[in-house]
């Protein structure tokens, strides 16, 4: 099981498939296995070298209980460490929710490592909804779920609840912090971007707005989908992702 050391935190990763490198970064409370469970790996590894990592605090990676460990630059450093371990100078980046937020972090702190950015259900604006976790330490699973549903503004689907509760909730409570504003990065983003969001997702207006401030962004609304559904319903999401990646593959390489 491959690991890389990122500033003293072990990050678990896997790589499979052939083609242009594509980082797949999961959302909060999830892990890299979710990309397999919902069919993304099977579909995308046919034409891409898929790089799956478990974010710090998640999956098989280390799980610090110190909130300072989860600062965005540290999360970006984890991705860069995995790319360095695989000797990959640049990659396409696909992130859902927290993973998409970290994608904007990549655009801010490590833009030279990103060929194209694909974000599902995330935006770069300040997000105070995470205040719901202000007094949550992970000791009470019910309180943790209530706070998470407050952030999502929806009930967690039954098929996802066991995945959430299987985590180290103390580590996730430490990771659940108010997210600082990153919109200053938008005018600097030169890479092609695909922004997808469910029309029933509370993040929809913010994602639509941020697409207007990125030079090369395609905005794709997903009719009828809430936040978690915009990941679980891979049958509706994957066609947009595959079409975008195929278009990028056909374009001449830009340095």
Supply the mean pLDDT for the chain. 95
Which is higher by pLDDT, 156 or 241?
Answer: 241
| pTM, full prediction | 0.95
The Cβ of residue 166 has, within 10 Å, a number of other Cβ atoms equal to: 11
DSSP H or E stretch at residue 194? strand 193-198
pLDDT digits (tens, 9 = 90+) for 21-65: 999 999 999 999 999 999 999 999 999 999 999 999 999 999 999
Instruction: Give pLDDT, residue 180.
Output: 87
Asked whether the beta carbons of 117 and 108 are under 8 A apart, the reply is no
234: phi then psi, degrees, rounded to nearest 5 = -60, -25
pLDDT digits (tens, 9 = 90+) for 154-182: 888 787 788 788 899 999 999 998 888 99
pLDDT digits (tens, 9 = 90+) for 104-119: 999 999 999 999 999 9
Superfamily of segment(s) 3-127+182-250: Alpha/Beta hydrolase fold, catalytic domain (3.40.50.1820)
d(CA 169, CA 178): 17
Residue 149 Cα distances to 26, 29, 152, 154, angstroms: 18, 12, 5, 6
């Amino acid at each position: 099981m491959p690991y890389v050391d990122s500033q003293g935190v072990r990050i678990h990763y896997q790589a499979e498939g052939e083609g242009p490198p594509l980082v797949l970064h999961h959302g909060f409370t999830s892990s890299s296995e979710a990309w397999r469970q919902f069919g993304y790996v099977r579909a995308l590894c046919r034409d891409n070298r898929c790089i799956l990592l478990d974010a710090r605090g998640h999956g098989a990676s280390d799980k610090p209980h110190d909130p300072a460990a989860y600062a965005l630059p540290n999360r970006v450093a984890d991705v860069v460490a995995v790319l360095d371990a695989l000797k990959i100078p640049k990659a396409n980046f696909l992130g859902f929710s927290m993973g998409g937020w970290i994608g904007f972090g990549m655009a801010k702190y490590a833009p030279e490592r990103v060929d194209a950015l694909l974000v599902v259900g995330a935006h770069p604006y300040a997000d105070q909804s995470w205040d719901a976790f202000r007094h949550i330490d992970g000791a009470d699973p019910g309180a943790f779920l209530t706070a998470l549903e407050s952030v999502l503004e929806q009930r967690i689907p039954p098929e996802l609840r066991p995945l959430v509760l299987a985590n180290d909730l103390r580590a996730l409570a430490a990771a659940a912090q108010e997210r600082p504003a990153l919109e200053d990065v938008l005018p600097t983003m030169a890479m092609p971007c695909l922004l997808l969001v469910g029309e029933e997702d509370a993040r929809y207006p913010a994602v639509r707005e941020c697409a207007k401030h990125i030079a090369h962004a395609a905005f794709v609304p997903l009719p009828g989908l809430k936040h978690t559904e915009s990941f679980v319903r891979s049958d509706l999401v994957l066609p947009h992702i595959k079409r975008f990646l195929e278009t990028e593959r056909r374009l001449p390489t830009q340095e």
